[in-house]
């Protein structure tokens, strides 16, 4: 990736002295004062502004740490680089406590975007619309599960006859959802690749799809894609904000959303996982 040095200079107030591409969309850029920042280029309209708003909203909770945002312009996002460390048990417990505090910071409604964040946002490269709702089961079905199910059916990733099992689960969400909870401030795309273990012993979160949601959704995504020392993370979380009874049995309900997003982005294998998750949840 060739970095727009003029954009980086405007956003950081420093000239660029070097760059190292990390991927087609990411680069580490050295500034003339020796600091290193990460520059991300997004091809989706509004994605950079949505990510910047999400990072700032998470930071405003004063709990989980995120890289400082220097700004965004014309699809470019500039944030601090996170010096990498190694996952550790103490850091995992600390992360769990901080994640609980982040969720407790709350949101105005289910589906509420971050302040100054767009309604039309993204999870990864998939569009994600942040329409507000007051009833979590209905909102989750209408705004997080069914849009991706319909797209997967339209694209042939899920066969038309298979969609019924997911639709049945959505109908049963008022029973399956557990006790009512207030809207939590979610990272929204909390897979292990977005959890960076820094060299100072603290976790940094990157690439949010931040919105108001159910706190168990973030935890379910950590379960789905793996997280080092996950049991210790959960120990720390429960010290601060114990989860409602039966939460472990609801993990599949909350995993349905990211699985369907992955089915849309990456194909049939994730669709099969989503369908099996729906079947097992209904059978249980």
Write the CA distances from 9 to 39, 50, 135, 197, integer angstroms.
11, 21, 45, 28
User: 33, 80, 189, 207: which is the annotated catalytic residue?
Assistant: 189
Would you call 154 a catalytic residue per the annotation? Answer: no
Joined together, the tokens standing for residue 259 give 């699985």
DSSP 185-248: EE-S---GGGEEEBTTS-EEE-S---EEE-HHHHHHHHHHH--TTHHHHHHHHHHHSPPPTTGG
- The one-character DSSP state at 183 is P
Nearest alpha carbon to residue 250 among 206, 280, 210, 225:
280
Token reading at 57? 């909203």
The residues assigned a catalytic role are 189
């Amino acid at each position: 990736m060739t970095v727009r040095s003029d954009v980086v200079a405007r956003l950081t107030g420093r000239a660029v002295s070097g760059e190292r591409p990390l991927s087609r969309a990411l680069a580490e850029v050295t500034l003339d004062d020796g600091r290193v920042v990460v520059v991300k280029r997004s091809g989706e309209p509004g994605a950079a502004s949505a990510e910047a708003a999400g990072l700032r909203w998470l930071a405003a909770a004063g709990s989980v740490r995120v890289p400082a945002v220097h700004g965004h312009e014309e699809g470019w996002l500039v944030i601090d680089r996170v010096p990498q460390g190694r996952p550790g048990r103490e850091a995992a417990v600390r992360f769990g406590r901080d994640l609980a505090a982040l969720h407790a910071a709350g949101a105005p409604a289910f589906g509420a975007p971050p302040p100054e964040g767009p309604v039309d946002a993204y999870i990864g490269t998939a569009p994600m619309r942040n329409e507000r709702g007051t009833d979590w089961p209905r909102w989750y079905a209408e705004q997080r599960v069914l849009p991706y199910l319909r797209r997967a059916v339209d694209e042939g990733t899920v066969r038309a006859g298979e969609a019924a099992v997911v639709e049945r689960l959505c109908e049963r969400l008022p029973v399956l959802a557990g006790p009512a909870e207030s809207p939590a401030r979610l990272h929204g795309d909390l897979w292990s690749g977005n959890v960076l273990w820094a060299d100072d012993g603290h976790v940094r979160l990157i690439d949010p799809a931040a919105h108001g949601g159910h706190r168990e959704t973030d935890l379910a995504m950590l379960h789905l894609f793996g997280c080092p020392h996950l049991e210790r993370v959960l120990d720390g979380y429960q010290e601060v904000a114990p989860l409602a009874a039966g939460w472990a049995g609801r993990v599949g309900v909350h995993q349905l959303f990211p699985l369907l997003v992955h089915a849309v982005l990456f194909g049939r294998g994730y669709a099969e996982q989503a369908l099996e998750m729906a079947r097992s949840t209904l059978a249980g």
